[in-house]
Structures are given as C-alpha cells and as structure tokens.
Amino acid sequence: MTLRAISISTMIAAVSVLSQAEEPADTLQWSYADCVDYARANNISLRQSELTLEATKASLEAARAQWAPSLEFATTHSLTNRPFGQDSKNSYNSSYGLNAGWTVWDGGKRENNIRREQKQTEIDAHTTTDLFRSIETDILGLYIDILYAREAIAINREAASVSQAQAERARQLMESGRLSRVDYAQLLSQARQDDYNVVNAQSTYDTYCTNLKQLLEIGIDKHIDPLPVDWSSDQVTAQYPPLDESYTLALATDARLEAAKLAVESAELDTKIARAGYYPSVSLNAGVGSGYYAPGGSFGNQMKWGLNESVGLTVSVPILDNKKTKTAVTQANIQRINAILSEDARRNEIARTVESCYIDLKSAIAQYEAGVNQVEAAELSDELVNEQFNLGLVNTVELMQSHNNLLQARGALLQAKYKAMLSRKLIEFYRTASVAIP
C-alpha cells in the first residue's frame, strides 16, 4: 500500500470515529413543511418584524385618538416669605383648574395621519409576510441542497464499492502474475480516492444540515435530518406553465410589491399632510378653576367665590413660517416619486427572477435528458471495460478512465435533476406564494 493510500485511509477512519463521537443524540427528522412551520414560530427576525407591526398598530390607535378632546387637571401652589413685611411675613397661594381643548380643524392633518398610519400598518404586515417568504425560499434551497447531497453520498458509496472490488480483483491478478504492482497500486489509489469522496460528500451533507439548522434557529444540542424525497424522471421533465402566466401570478402574490404600492399611497398622504401647513387651524378650549390664599378667608368660601368658568376659540392663520411648509411639501413629493420608482424596480426584479427560473429550468431539463443518455452510455462502456480488464484486454488507465467517466456522468445527472426541481419549485412558489414538497 502506498503512503498516499495509507494517509487517506487513516483520515477516513479518523473522520468516521470523530463523527460517531460528536453525533447528537436528538435528531429531528422533518419534512419541508415541518421546517417552515418551525421557522414561522421561532425565527428571530420574523418575530422582530411582528413586533414592529404591533408598534405600528399602536401608532394607528394614537392617531385615531387625536379626534378626541383633551382634558387635564392642573393645580399650582406657592409659598411667599416677606422678611421685612409689616402685616404678614408669609403667604400661601394655590389654584385649581380643569381644562379641556379640542381641535376643530387642522387642515386635514388628523384624517390624513390616520390614513397614513393605516397604510403603514398594511405595509408592515406585507413586510412581515415578505420576510417569511424569503425565509421559506431559503429553507427550500437548503432542503433541496440536502436532498442532492444525500443522493450524492449514495452515488459516491456505490462508486467506492465498485472501485474496491476492482482493487481486489487487481490484487488477485497481481498475485497470479498477470498484473504489475504499479497497476495494482493505481487501482488501490483510485479506491482510496473514492473512499475519500464519500467522506467529502458526507461533509457537504452535514454542512447543509447545519446551515438549515442555523436558519431555523435550532439549538446546538439537536441535529436535523430532513426526510427523503423521491422525484421521478417524469416529475423532473414535466411540462412547465407559460412564462407570462407565471409572471402575472407572481405580481399578484408578491408581498413586497404590495408593500411598495402602499408606500406610494402613503407618500401621497404625506404630501397632503405637508400641504396642511398652508391652511388655518381652529381649536376650542374651556376651563373651570378656583383658588385659595392665606392668610385670608376660609378655604370653602374662597373656593366658592373664586370659582370661574371660561370658554374660548382660537384661530391660527399661517402667514410666514420660514419656508417650513414649502420644504415639507417638496420633501414629501420627492419621497412619493422615490416610492413610485421602488414599485417599478420591484416589478422589474420579479420579471428578472421569474425569467431566470425559467431559463434555469429549461437548461436543467435539457441537461437531465442528455445526462440520462450519457449515464446509460457510460454504464454500458464501464461494464464492457470491466469485462475486458478481467480478460486482460485493457490496462488500468482505461479502466480508471471508464470508472471516472461513469462517476462524472452520474454526478452531472444528479446535479441537473435537483437544479431542475429547485427551479420548478421556485416557479411554483412565485405563482402561488406556497410550495409543497411531499
């Protein structure tokens, strides 16, 4: 055995022992739907977005409350000391009042503030939905990566088993004098390399599982092992819906686009609120009060004779405000135009995303269909080369080349399969705002 073969074999054994020692006891065997449900309940970013929505709802209630009159009770107390006073050196004064106020007209600020807060509540709701949808697509991508990595492990294990059998056959031929030690060493090295490929495939699978676990905010004491999914060739190559139909449905179901539309409406309300600064405001106020001072009469008499009632009307007409209103209107208009541009940008982004999914799907299906034929040809070729090797008609280089060609063909077919299914599921997601993986 060569030094390289020994080092790889030692590495494989070490990794195997380490993985067995570190394997978590609590393994979660979840479907895609289980992962989504867990994320909906536990994702930190999503919960923070929901709290933002609750804060916006509170702001909406505060805006509605501006229609109600204000009412307050006020009292003041003071003590005066006159060191050189002739009659009394100390005096005490107090007042008590109940004051009410109500804004009759403020240029439409209150109405538009309420409408704006309503829009903002809807925007935050759509933002939360969009965040969750982004988490769903992230889960979808990782879930399919895991399925791909799991099947890649099986392919690499099968290849390792075949190369191990070839190495054993080569050993027998070497011992019988029909094969050189160099040829045997090459086949043994290939077998060790295939064993190492299994370890690499397992590492990739574990990495994807860890990434999914981190996305779901699952603790370090648990291990996630997604349930397997078996997609047939017919499912991979099935007819896909029309592009223009998918684009139309994506526009109708996109939460971020709905939030962008509402942002335009909110910006228009901001412009109206800013323009209210040009209009006069009218407010009513009323109050009831009394007072007491000492030295003086009794508290009851003073409060009775000092009782007063007042009512007033205030009209405020803006004349010059140092261009504050004009500046506010200009800034609101800029914000409105920016919101319109954001909406257009989102439409373009949806178009690019959907079209990209279709391009990827068409390419993956073509690669898959070609890959099926390529694997069949590679399997037949590998079978023939193995028979010829056993008869001594081909050398080890040709045998190894045939083996590698088969392994590459299977890997390319597997990659095309899962690339096609990911694109297909993304198209389904953009059309219906949901996706099902059996």
**The dihedral formed by the CA atoms of 334, 337, 343 and 344, expressed in degrees to the nearest 10:** -130
Is 251 part of a structural domain of the chain? yes
CB 408 within 8 A of CB 175: no
How many domains does the chain divide into? 1
Is 86 part of a structural domain of the chain? no
Is 83 part of a structural domain of the chain? no
Residue 212: what pLDDT? 94
Tell me which residue of 189, 171, 194 sits closest to 6, measured CA to CA: 189
Q: Is the pTM of this model over 0.85?
A: no
Nearby residues of 393 by Cβ (< 8 Å), 6 or more positions away: none
Is 84 part of a structural domain of the chain? no
CB 424 within 8 A of CB 365: no
DSSP states along 74-124: EEEEEEEE-TT-SS-SEEEEEEEEEEEEEEEESTTHHHHHHHHHHHHHHHH
Q: Provide the residue-wise pLDDT of the chain in tens; the chain has 438 residues.
A: 333 333 444 444 444 433 444 444 588 999 999 999 999 999 999 999 999 999 999 999 999 999 999 999 999 999 988 877 666 678 889 999 999 999 999 999 999 999 999 999 999 999 999 999 999 999 999 999 999 999 999 999 998 998 898 888 888 888 888 888 988 898 899 899 999 999 999 999 999 999 999 999 898 888 998 999 989 999 999 999 999 999 999 999 999 999 999 999 999 999 999 999 999 999 999 999 999 988 888 888 989 898 999 999 999 999 999 999 999 999 999 999 999 999 999 999 999 999 999 999 999 999 999 999 999 999 999 899 888 887 778 888 888 888 889 999 999 999 999 999 999 999 999 999 999 887
Task: Report the b/e string of 90-104 with b at 16+ CB within 10 A.
Answer: ebeebebbeeeeebe
Is 381 part of a structural domain of the chain? yes
Is 19 part of a structural domain of the chain? yes
The CATH number linked to 178 is 1.20.1600.10
Is 344 part of a structural domain of the chain? yes
Residue type, 256: R
Residue 271 is part of which domain span? 3-78+92-432
Residue 261: what pLDDT? 96
Is 128 part of a structural domain of the chain? yes
DSSP SS3 for 230: coil
